Amino acid sequence: MSDLYLKSSLLLARIPAAVRRRLHEARTEIAEHGDRGDNPVVTVILWVAGIGIAVTIVAALVALGMRASSKVDNVDLGG
């Protein structure tokens, strides 16, 4: 058996224990501190709403700018 196969088999054998240990740590932390309360669905909804509001404001400002620009273009400066 080559040295590479031995090292890789040892690494693969340690993965389940590492996963179990991390899950135990996570469950212990949740039990001690409780849920942090950040829900990813709510976060996405808030980001989408914020971006939508920002785009709406920009579109309104562009529309007002175009409207004002067209009114200024029609002014005769007597030149």
pLDDT in tens, 10-67: 888 888 999 999 999 988 988 888 766 667 888 899 999 999 999 999 999 998 988 8
Domains of the chain by residue range? 1-36, 38-74
For residues 35-54, one letter each, b for 16 or more C-beta atoms within 10 angstroms of the residue's C-beta and e for the rest, the string is eeeeeeeeeeeeeeeeeeee
pLDDT-derived band at 72, boundaries 50, 70, 90: low
Q: Positive or negative CA dihedral for 27, 28, 34, 39?
A: negative
- pLDDT reported for residue 79: 57
Residue with tokens 């920002």: 54
Residue 67: count of CB within 10 angstroms of its CB: 10
